[in-house]
Amino acid sequence: MKKLIVANFKMNQQPSDVKNYFIKFVSLFTGVRADVVICPAYLDIPLAKFLTNQSPVKIGAQNVSDEEEGAFTGEVSAKMLKAQGVEYVLIGHSDRRIKFKESDKLINKKIKTALKNGLKCIVCVGETLADRNTERTYEVIRKQLDEDLRGLYENELESVIIAYEPIWAIGTGNNASVKDVENAAKVIRRAINENFSEKASRDIQVLYGGSLNEKNYAPLLSCTGIDGGLFGGLSLNVNALLNIANSIK
């Protein structure tokens, strides 16, 4: 199975940067070794969709409203994203959990709304440095998964991807070790097994994210239980992302 590479631009890139980025990416991406999902800012989604029209590159959103429609000023609904051709959405990223105080309850509602509208959800989980230092990593991930996926039907998990992103590793240059990532993948799959089924725990795609770079991605993304990576900072460099997407094993 091909690896899944997801790029999260966060609140970076101006439209002219996005235009040049996608023109280059689309012309040089082979699509042989990896599936690629790129998540630009909401405003850049129509341009990104237009430029990836004839390419295997998929577009994701970085966020979505938990509400279907109505008086929610500033929000963007799952239906609106779907109408723009968006296929994936990041939900539960630590930027949203911490800086926007998103709770597991809200994340659960966002996932249900996104799934109902036909979007695939990339659900991010991960522990803080304090959790890690007090050996609560697995407990924290387990609680997030139990609450975030509560009430989902097993068949809906076919449209759910889990990204393990330890918060202490995001944007810090301190990536998790292969052992950390393998252990987290085991905890994630055990949670899916216990809450859904053994088959679901085997089939679900699990990604790692947090200070991935051109030197560390190969061992981290080929370790047991990991199906791909979620890239932040590195993904802003089109050549670096292309190199990984075209050469990953």
Query: Could you list the active site residues?
Result: 93, 165
Residue 37 C-beta: closest distance to ligand 13P, Å: 12
Residues lying near ligand 13P in the complex (CB under 6 A) are found at 8, 93, 165, 170-171, 209-212, 230-234
Cα(44)–Cα(146) distance, integer angstroms: 33
Cα(123)–Cα(194) distance, integer angstroms: 18
Closer by beta carbon to ligand 13P, 8 or else 65: 8
Residue 199 C-beta: closest distance to ligand 13P, Å: 28
Q: Which residue is nearest to ligand 13P (CB)?
A: 232
CA dihedral 148, 151, 155, 159 (to 10 degrees): -30
Residue 170 C-beta: closest distance to ligand 13P, Å: 4
Helix crossing, 178-195 with 137-148: angle to 10°? 40
Task: Output phi, psi for 165, to 5 deg.
Answer: -130, 90
Closer by beta carbon to ligand 13P, 196 or else 227: 227
Closer by beta carbon to ligand 13P, 228 or else 232: 232
Closer by beta carbon to ligand 13P, 162 or else 212: 212
On whether the CB atoms of residues 74 and 43 are closer than 8 A, the answer is no
Residue 127 C-beta: closest distance to ligand 13P, Å: 14
Cα(127)–Cα(125) distance, integer angstroms: 7
